[in-house]
Every structure is written in C-alpha cells, then in structure tokens.
A and B are shown apart, each in its own frame.
Chain A
Amino acid sequence: MLLEAHHVTRDFGAFRALDGADLTVADGEMVGLIGPNGAGKSTFFNCLVGDLTPSAGRVVFNARDVTRAPPEAHARLGIGRTFQVPATFEDMSVLENVMVGAFLRHPGRAAAIDAADAVIERVGLAGLRNARARSLGTPGRKRLEIARVLATEPKLLLLDEALAGLNPAEIARAIDLVRQIHASGITIVIVEHIMEVILSLAQRVIVFDQGRIIASGKPADVVEEPAVIEAYLGHSLKRGQKR
C-alpha cells in the first residue's frame, strides 16, 4: 500500500471533526473523497498532508510513519498537494513558481529551470512562462499550482477541490489534465464537490459524513447506498439524473 491511514481522529477543542477514519490507497489508484460541507474531508486531507497533526491514529506512507511529520517532510517523501484556494506565489513568474517546486529534486539552477520548463510544457502553460502569477485567472492559477507540485515529482498527489470555481469548458480541460497526470503513474487522491468530476475520474470513492466514513466503493455503487443518499447525495444526484 502506498498510503495507509489508521483510525485517524482529530479534535478541535471539544469538537471531534474527524472520528476514526481509515483509508488505504494502492499505488496507481485514483480515489475520491466526498461528503457534505463540514463532513471532515478537509480535516482528513490536512491530516494526510501534514498540515494538521491527528489527535489519534496513524498515517503511513510508503511504509514510513508520517503521522507527526511536518508538511515539508511529506513533500520530500513524495506527497504533493494543492490548495482549495490557489496559493500561488503572486509576485513570482510562472517559471519561478514552478522552479520552487523543482528545486526539491534539482538543487542547481540550470537543472531546476529545465525541470520546471518540462512541467510547464506538460500542463499547457508554456505561453505564460514569464507572466507573473498575479496576472493569471483562476484556471491559470489552478494549473500553475498543479505544475508547481508536479515539479516536486510526487508519488502521491492530493488535490483539494482543484476544479472548484471553473466553468464547464475549463472543468473538461482540467479533467483531461488530471487523467494525464494519473496516466503518467502518479497516484491521486481527489477531494471534490462536483459529482460529475468524481464519477468520471475516481476508481473508488470514500464518503464522509459528520466526521466518519459512511461508505466506500465504486462510484456507481456508492451513490446507490441509502446512507449516502440520505447524508448528502439525495438531492444533487436526483437533480443530476433529471438533467
């Protein structure tokens, strides 16, 4: 197993945001995390990438315990992540943003530029190579974030609502990009609100509600489960089917 989370729990004061979540992700999988707002997805996500330390439980990546490791150690071991609200380095150019990621495996400047350029080409930002990040729109920033984390050469990529705020045409392009990244051999865990995305991308879906995992399995099966429909999917799925 590439990633194993055992009974991960996280309290904020008296409030238990996450209650004993288990997850195993095999090398090469694409797993979706879904659930209504406040279900604990983001808390779980942040425990997996090292932004939050679990109150209890264990996170193991590639046979190494990373439960208490800081985010930079996660990056070094090969866990990459994007942010829900793009956190691009605004005053730096697209190339410089991606170079920050590339420096992790390529300490020399020339090698970092080469590695960054290859990634920029791959995600389709070559035309904006020297533009400052602040001049990019939302789709450009999301793409830049993905480029930046790809430059760290992760084995596992965690995407936190990488498609939120995009219009349908942009979503289609972004889905292509995620597929292409997955096809290149990177394991992906994706948190997403948009059902269409999860259903078309993920091989396996984990459903959260009130801090617990209430269902998991193939997307088509999971959406049929009564508990899931009751918790979250009821309305949005039916509306989706009518359309």
Chain B
Amino acid sequence: MGGRLALLALAAAAMIVAYPLVFSGAFMGRLGALVLLSAIGASAWNILGGYAGQISVGHAMFYGIGAYVPLMVYKLWELPPVAGVPVAVVFSLVVAILIGFPTFRLVGHYFSMATIAVAELIRIVISNWDFVGGAIGLMGPATSRTVLDLSFKSSVPYYYLFLAVLAVVLGVTWHLERSRMGYYLRAIKAGERAARSLGVPVRRYKLFALLLSAGFTSVAGSLYALMIGFVDPDSVFGLLISVEMIIVAALGGAGTLFGPLIGAAILVPLREFTNSAFGGGGSGITYILFGGIIMLIARFEPGGLMEIGRRAAALFKRRPREAARVA
C-alpha cells in the first residue's frame, strides 16, 4: 500500500512537472500557471485557516499588498518589480501583527467578520488613494527591459517559477505538520481552552500561524502582479480573492498538505472555463459556482476531497483482511 502510494505521488509529480510540455497552447499554459498560483494562495491560507482553524475571510489584504508593492516599487523608482517582493512581505507581516492582536481576542464567526471588515477597509482606502493609482490601479513595465523584470510572453517561465514557490510553501507546511507547532495549531483548532490547559501558549501560536500565512499570501499576490503586469483594487484586494482561497482549500481539504493543490486543480479550470464561455458576465457565474460549492462542502463533507479519499482508502485497506477472514 505504502509503495503504491509513493508510486502514485511520483506519477503525479511527474505530470505536474511535464504539464507545460504536454499542453503547449496559450490558454492551457496560462491555466496551468493560474492553478499553481491559486494553490500557493490557498496553501498559505491553509496554515492559519486549515491547521489552526482561524477562518480569515480577509486574506485578500495580504494578497493585495503583495500585488501592489512590487508595482509601486516600479512606479516610484523604475526598479524591477521583483525587488518589491520582500518589501511587500515585510509590509504584510506588519499589517498581520497590527490586526492579529485585536482580532485574535475574537472567536469563531466574530474573527471571520473582523477580518472581512479590515480587508474591505483597506480595499476602499486603496481605491480612493491616488498615490497608489486609486480605482484605476497600477501597471508594471510594458516591455521587458531586462530579464529581471520577469515579464515573459509565454506562461511557461511563470509556471515553473510558481511551481518552485509552491514547493517551498508545501515544504514548510509539511515540516510544520510534523513539528510541535503543527500539533499545537490543530489542538487550538479543536479547543482553545483544552489546548491552554496543556500548556499551549495559544495567542503566540496563532500569531506565528498568521505571520507565516500572511507572508506566503503576500508572495502569491506578488507573483500574480508579476505575471499579469497590472493590478487594480478589485482584482487583488476584492472579497472574492479571500473567498476563493477558502473554497479552494476547503474543497480539497482544509488542514491537509495537498488539499489546496487538489482544490485548485479542480476549481481554477472551472472558473476559467465559465469565464471564457460566458465572456465578461462570467464572473457572476463564478460567484454562483463558489456559493454552490460552499454549500455542498458544508453540508456533505467538511473534510473536503482529502477526507473522502482517506475514507475510500480505509475501505480499500479493510477489504483484503475481511476476505482473508472469510477464507
């Protein structure tokens, strides 16, 4: 069983690496990169929302900061946007600390609502602040000046850049899952009072999780800006950005390592196909789609696809033993 699972993982990894070579068309190439980008964002959200159970519906604030700062760095000093990525991470961490202290006093839905409020506040401020482009937004370099601008016509370089970042995020998450912090986060999710009684410094660990999560989300936003080359308040600070991270993670399995990647591989193609099939009005369909998926997950399987898979595997494992008993 373990050997077969390893083989399966190897095959999946090979497919992911070879994807741009197999699907060389522009639409499919872009789609592959977008799946990975969405997986990075959802995996970042997953650290706080999935493992620690703190359902932030405001992660667009970190995504937006990540997207805006590189293009601001370009606008102000004509530097390659990529130089703004670490600056954006620092900004995001500062914002995370500022909102972490007051909001972590809130529990459950109240925490979620507070994160929505802060994110929307930031979006509205950005929309009305001409220094950062106001409602119009910001542009990156129109043509690539040097390779450092990371402005490519093909989506293949982005695909591999995103894949590398995703590997880092998943590597960190994997390490986290097996470390004391991972266990502490899951304990906090299951019951703060019990966790504290066992010596878990709950507030400190929530803040660690938020910082990690915010930092990676910021990087995801930066990658979006690098690839698209244009940002406006709605496309990176919008509520839909936060909601999509949650749905992608929850569909695959919140609090699991590969759940967000699986969720992204299903949801992003769906979104892109509805967008292209229905044209400009397609984003409305996307909302309906997301709403339906939320209801289905909440009603039938809060553990997501990973949980269904785990149950199927358990059934699979039990069968041979039962067969042996009958014989």
Contact = CB atoms under 8 A, between A and B. Distances in A.
Interface in A129-159: 148-149, 152
Interface string A98-112: 011101100101001
A81 B198 CA distance: 8
Contacts of B191: 87, 89
Contacts of A70: 196
B197 A71 contact: yes
Nearest to A109: B178
Contacts of B190: 89-92
B183 interface: yes
B183 A96 contact: yes
B143 interface: no
B75 interface: no
A174 to B, nearest CB: 19
B180 A148 contact: no
B179 interface: yes
B139 interface: no
Interface in B194-211: 194-202
A64 interface: no
B27 to A, nearest CB: 40
Q: Classify chain B's interface size.
A: 10 to 19
Q: How large is the interface on A (under 10, 10 to 19, 20 to 34, 35 or more residues)?
A: 20 to 34
A128 B158 CA distance: 48
B184 A103 contact: yes
Contacts of A148: 198
A110 B310 CA distance: 25
A112 B179 CA distance: 10
Nearest to A105: B199
Given A75-B198, A109-B179, A152-B198, A100 B193 contact: no
B187 interface: yes
Given A96-B183, A99-B183, A104 B199 contact: yes
A72 interface: yes
Contacts of A188: none
A72 B179 contact: no
A80 B194 CA distance: 11
Contact of B196 (A72, A90, A107, A112): A72
A76 B191 CA distance: 18
A99 B194 CA distance: 13
Contact of A89 (B179, B194, B196, B199): B194
A230 B196 CA distance: 38
Contacts of B194: 83, 87-89
Contact of B200 (A72, A87, A149): A72
B199 A72 contact: yes
Give the dominant DSSP class at B's interface.
helix
Interface string B159-185: 000000000000000000011100110
A144 to B, nearest CB: 11
A88 B202 CA distance: 16
Nearest to A101: B198
B184 A87 contact: no
B197 A100 contact: no
Interface string B287-300: 00000000000000
B201 A72 contact: yes
A152 B199 contact: yes
Most buried by A among B179, B186, B191, B199: B199
Contacts of A80: 197
A104 B178 contact: no
A89 B184 CA distance: 11
Contacts of A29: none
Interface of B: 178-180, 183-184, 186-187, 190-191, 193-202
Given A72-B197, A92-B190, 19 more contacts: A49-B197, A75-B199, A76-B199, A83-B193, A87-B193, A87-B194, A87-B197, A89-B191, A91-B190, A96-B186, A99-B183, A100-B184, A100-B186, A100-B198, A100-B200, A101-B199, A103-B180, A112-B180, A149-B198
19 contacts: A49-B197, A70-B196, A75-B197, A75-B199, A80-B197, A83-B194, A83-B197, A88-B194, A89-B190, A89-B191, A89-B194, A90-B190, A96-B183, A100-B200, A103-B183, A103-B184, A109-B180, A148-B198, A152-B198
